[in-house]
Amino acid sequence: MRDQRVVIVGGSSGMGLRVARSVVASGGQVVIGGRDPERLAQAAATLGERAQARRIDSSDKASIAAFFEGIGRFDHLFTPGSSQSSGRIDEIDDDTAESPFRSKFWGQYYAVKHALPHLAKTGSIVLMSGAYSQRPLAGSATYVACNSAIEGLARALAVELAPIRVNAISPGTIDTELWQTRLRHKREQAHAHYAAMAALGRVGTVDEAADAVLFLMRNTYTTGSTLFTDGGYTLR
């Protein structure tokens, strides 16, 4: 990734931050985005002088437009930053039901739209999906549907935006900071449940997921693909 400039919406933690670390370590530059300015500043400080931080909320169209305004030319876009909830169709309110599409689907769609004027034609976009798209869990219908839609969006944009390459990463359960917000016993229960369903019998690491994202950025003949970094969850 030497001399490549990479923009990561959701780059202050988890998979986004790990991708940022690899890019900087290999001689590239990053712009990381997120909602919490303190978390962003801390992440940027650990990344060093080849990193910049900008505030963005992927649930808010105006915030997405402002993030990309004057950002300068860059080579790759990765968009894991989203915030959503889910639940059973007969239990959740409309706002909760719509939250995955609002933040994760439309958030990524508008990020691509506002990124385009600045994105190199030789570059790439990696959208964030999730393996429940292919093997749903009960109680997350709109989150599942949103991930399926994102995989479709990657295929459609790969055709529409060529030669810019567009791919999606669809991870299974990855042990990121996202899980630290859950109560410990709930997290352990969810991880054990996932491990029992995945062919490899465990959850994934942040490094394994970040490596898949970097592959999609680097490989110049891969476009329209969804890469399942899921330990074989979708095989069973």
Ligand X SMILES: NC(=O)c1ccc[n+]([C@@H]2O[C@H](COP(=O)([O-])OP(=O)(O)OC[C@H]3O[C@@H](n4cnc5c(N)ncnc54)[C@H](OP(=O)(O)O)[C@@H]3O)[C@@H](O)[C@H]2O)c1
Binding region for ligand X (CB under 6 A)? 9-16, 34-36, 39, 56-59, 80-83, 103-104, 128, 130, 171, 173-174, 176-178
Instruction: Identify the H or E element spanning 226.
Output: strand 226-227
Helix, strand, or coil (residue 181): helix
Q: Which residue, 75 or 230, is less far from ligand X as judged by CB? A: 230
Shortest distance, CB of residue 36 to ligand X, whole angstroms? Answer: 3
Q: Does residue 150 contact residue 129 with C-beta atoms inside 8 Å?
A: yes
Shortest distance, CB of residue 26 to ligand X, whole angstroms? Answer: 20
Token pair listed for 35: 């909602």
Residues 6+ apart with CB under 8 A from 146: 84, 100, 101, 104, 105
Q: Which residue, 6 or 9, is less far from ligand X as judged by CB? A: 9
Q: Which residue, 85 or 219, is less far from ligand X as judged by CB? A: 85
Q: Which residue, 2 or 236, is less far from ligand X as judged by CB? A: 236
Q: Does residue 223 contact residue 158 with C-beta atoms inside 8 Å?
A: yes
Shortest distance, CB of residue 118 to ligand X, whole angstroms? Answer: 18
Shortest distance, CB of residue 14 to ligand X, whole angstroms? Answer: 2
Q: Which residue type sits at 105?
A: F
Q: Which residue, 22 or 59, is less far from ligand X as judged by CB? A: 59
| Rounded Cα–Cα distance for residues 61 and 137 (Å) | 29
Cβ count near 174 (within 10 Å)? 24
| Rounded Cα–Cα distance for residues 161 and 202 (Å) | 36
Shortest distance, CB of residue 122 to ligand X, whole angstroms? Answer: 26
Shortest distance, CB of residue 208 to ligand X, whole angstroms? Answer: 11
Q: Which residue, 2 or 233, is less far from ligand X as judged by CB? A: 233
Q: Which of 146, 139, 132, 137 is nearest to 100 (CA)?
A: 146
Question: Up-side HSE of residue 98: CA atoms within 13 Å toward CB?
Answer: 6
